Structure 1
């Protein structure tokens, strides 16, 4: 069933808490709702607004926002230790992780407590603590706005990369994700090598699914602000990936610089470390600042506009570039 709103405030629909308005917002449950919505043509400006956790509105939105609200999780099949699961686009991502952990299904536990909904996970290819959504997503169900048909895209054709997918590029503005299918496992496959995960897990008694989930949640809560208390969109910047020669020169000057292998012989650097070393961790200007415990996160201390947030972000980017010669790109979608 469709629910439609006009001239609606988006303050409670984006995690930055920016008080912009949308000319029109529609909540949908199923493909039939979408067919009815687009039956008379596609509006000149529209986009999907899921949980609003990876977006910064810098002005009012004068088009149509489409929001998924269906939240069913179902077990599709089980063969050996492999389990196929389907989650509708409106499912809260962390609810899906908890659902899997409760049933002894491995694969999502390192992605605990990431805000947002299941339908947005493949778009950004969300990731944390050595895991990505692409590790488990096998198919994406989507509605084609151009002809009203339902399509299914296998993971091999989703062009998943570091915070990348085909949904951010060639399929952007053409499809609406309605559900995702995941492949999980009953065989324990702990991934503990990233950051403080192993230490936190061992402190809880070892590498069980529940212990890993609780460890990840504890780490995230200790480092990241709660959007319900302090407006933010999680990691505002991507970790930059540079040529090995560039990383080598920086390591000569900063031997303690975190660095990780990346595809094609390149090296991924830690944007948070770069921001911190540039002297910006905890730095604040007016109602906007870099979070005091996690330099990747920009926060709205209350009343900041989207324009003020992005102006502050540009200063952070320029400061890092001036010090290290490295450009850090935004992970958050800017409107």
Structure 2
């Protein structure tokens, strides 16, 4: 395995940031995994793992090695009395995998259609949309311990999932390469259409099916969110902040229209996009980057932006929201520096 292959990463991240890796390797077979551990040991520093590049902020020059996970494969592992256990390789495109599940009659992921990225990235971020989080469907996560050079299986419980978070975003779990994810998809399918966009969709009013929900989610996302192929973006750039009931009550006094969602533990999730818009950033730019004109939660690259440009805008937005609402936003994309 060569470890001296350089790579332009500008086209491999959905923000379209100008970036170059001094050391790059493409992983397309699990047979390469032992050599990758040796590669990391020779490099003397941890490897950055790149999937679909949809949740990343890349610096212009990356000195640490970059491993591009393009492992492929989808299979039905087991069929029980109440569920299908389906496995997908880490390099599979997430949206394509969701579509494949619909075609095979394996339901439960349709609310997560059109989320950019790969299967291997989905547990890291615990992706979620329209009332479903992927943690609700994950059975286990198969990984490769890059430091020890051996496989490691994480059960769903061991993944320590929470809102847009998992063990794989914490220091303890960052040394693992996700090679495959297994999903438990229920045979007794129950539609999840509680979110207003789905509840008010005219097509679903006639009766929800997995395919109809899949199609509705695609329509809604395409109407609200810019296509990364046309304008660089990483989807929702900030997490929706979680506050206490007391904090929400205080905010509602000054901002009665503030959008909030009750959580299971009694806390409330706030709509970050609404707060960003109220802070004056919707459709506003700072240099070559800006917050999208239709969806204030999405940071877009108008062309030629670098990580420094993105971070400068992100810091400015965070400062504005904190000043207005006394709430601190946290970005979703991970920084490779």
TM-score greater than 0.5 by the shorter chain? yes
| Alignment match, 2:147 | 146
Counterpart Cα distance in 2 of 1:14 and 1:40: 23
Counterpart Cα distance in 2 of 1:195 and 1:119: 29
Report whether the alignment pairs 1:289 with 2:290: yes
Report whether the alignment pairs 1:57 with 2:66: no
Counterpart Cα distance in 2 of 1:104 and 1:222: 27
Alignment of 1:1-335 (within 5 A): 6-39=5-38, 42=41, 43=43, 44-200=45-201, 202=203, 205-335=206-336
Task: Give, in angstroms, the shift of residue 11 of structure 1.
Answer: 0.6
Normalised by the size of structure 2, how large is the TM-score? 0.95
Spell out, residue by residue over 1:173-213, the C-alpha distance to the aligned partner (whole angstroms, 9 max, x if none): 32111000000123221110113112226357420111100
Could you list the runs of 4 or more consecutive aligned residues of structure 1 that deviate by over 6 angstroms after TM superposition?
2-5
Residues 316 and 188 from structure 1, CA distance in 2 versus in 1: closer, same or farther, beyond 3 angstroms? same
Task: Give, in angstroms, the shift of residue 125 of structure 1.
Answer: 0.4
Task: Give, in angstroms, the shift of residue 130 of structure 1.
Answer: 0.9
Counterpart Cα distance in 2 of 1:152 and 1:3: 28
Q: Secondary structure at the match of 2:253?
A: helix
- Identify which range, 179-188 or 258-267, moves more after superposition: 258-267
Spell out, residue by residue over 1:227-255, the C-alpha distance to the aligned partner (whole angstroms, 9 max, x if none): 00000001110000011111111112222
Counterpart Cα distance in 1 of 2:145 and 2:272: 36
Q: Secondary structure at the match of 2:32?
A: helix
Counterpart Cα distance in 1 of 2:243 and 2:4: 45
Spell out, residue by residue over 1:230-281, the C-alpha distance to the aligned partner (whole angstroms, 9 max, x if none): 0000111000001111111111222221111224321110100100111211
Task: Give, in angstroms, the shift of residue 4 of structure 1.
Answer: 6.6
Counterpart Cα distance in 2 of 1:41 and 1:202: 51
Counterpart Cα distance in 1 of 2:210 and 2:202: 10
Residues 204 and 71 from structure 1, CA distance in 2 versus in 1: closer, same or farther, beyond 3 angstroms? farther
Normalised by the size of structure 1, how large is the TM-score? 0.95
Q: Secondary structure at the match of 1:63?
A: coil
Task: Give, in angstroms, the shift of residue 40 of structure 1.
Answer: 5.7
Counterpart Cα distance in 1 of 2:120 and 2:39: 25
Task: Give, in angstroms, the shift of residue 321 of structure 1.
Answer: 0.7
Counterpart Cα distance in 1 of 2:94 and 2:110: 11
- Identify which range, 151-160 or 56-65, moves more after superposition: 56-65
- Identify which range, 129-138 or 280-289, moves more after superposition: 280-289
Equivalent residues, number = 334
Counterpart Cα distance in 1 of 2:291 and 2:195: 23
Residues 171 and 294 from structure 1, CA distance in 2 versus in 1: closer, same or farther, beyond 3 angstroms? same
- Conservation of the 8 A alpha-carbon contact between 1:5 and 1:24: yes
Counterpart Cα distance in 1 of 2:147 and 2:9: 27
Task: Give, in angstroms, the shift of residue 37 of structure 1.
Answer: 2.2
- Conservation of the 8 A alpha-carbon contact between 2:198 and 2:204: no
CA RMSD of aligned residues (A): 1.6
